[in-house]
Amino acid sequence: MAAPGDSSADFLLMHSQIQRVPTPKIELFQLKRFVDPELQAELVRLIDKDRRPSTVADPNGDDYFRTSETCDLDATEAAVIELEAALRELNGIDPAYGEPLQGQRYAEGQEFKPHTDYFTPGGPDYEKYCSVAGQRTWTFMIYLNEVESGGATRFKAVGKTFQPEAGKLLCWNNRRPDGSVNPATLHHGMKVRKGMKYVITKWYRERPWGW
């Protein structure tokens, strides 16, 4: 049985349309048409309304490491409530263990260079970000629109690249089976060559979110 901040491969695979990437290195899944066009459009509107420059937890001196814009979505918005309910049904994770939904917008030329979603143990901001809710467990990411060119998400360690498709969800476990962080989750939000890319990201934690 999964811990409260966890999902499991078996639980996710109860959804008939979800697909698991066949590799022992990472628990990585995709589910097409998870979000319908009407909800996609409303989430894009909310991101555009409140977007701001994105940041990183542990700056590495590269000012172009993450060049997108970010939006923390209001939990009282009807579209956010709808999406949170759909995620709960899909992954079985207690919502108390989730970070607030976050939206990202990538304009032409913007990207998020190869990175992991977990906080690096021993890193300068590890204690700051993990002291209350613990480490990140799962990531759920949803593409909200079609991109004219570029904007794929690449997992180099498993040789898998996902192209943006409106409504498609990707999700992965940020840890190994023993609970340690998994470097094979390194992924690259590749540069948008033409058009715009909108994404929703939901992260879950080991303990209830208390910020």
Domain definitions of the chain by residue range:
9-205
Alpha helices in the chain (DSSP H): 9-12, 37-50, 78-91, 126-130
Six token digits for residue 202: 């939901």
Question: What is residue 63's predicted lDDT score, i.e. its pLDDT?
Answer: 47
Q: 158: helix, coil or strand?
A: helix
Q: Per residue in 129-164, pLDDT tens? A: 898 999 999 999 999 999 999 999 999 999 999 999
pTM of the model: 0.92
Q: Per residue in 78-124, pLDDT tens? A: 999 999 999 999 999 999 999 999 999 999 998 888 899 999 888 77
For residues 38 and 114, give the distance between their C-alpha atoms in angstroms, rounded to a whole number.
Answer: 31
9-205 topology per CATH: Jelly Rolls (2.60.120)
Closest CA to 99 of 60, 54, 145, 130: 130
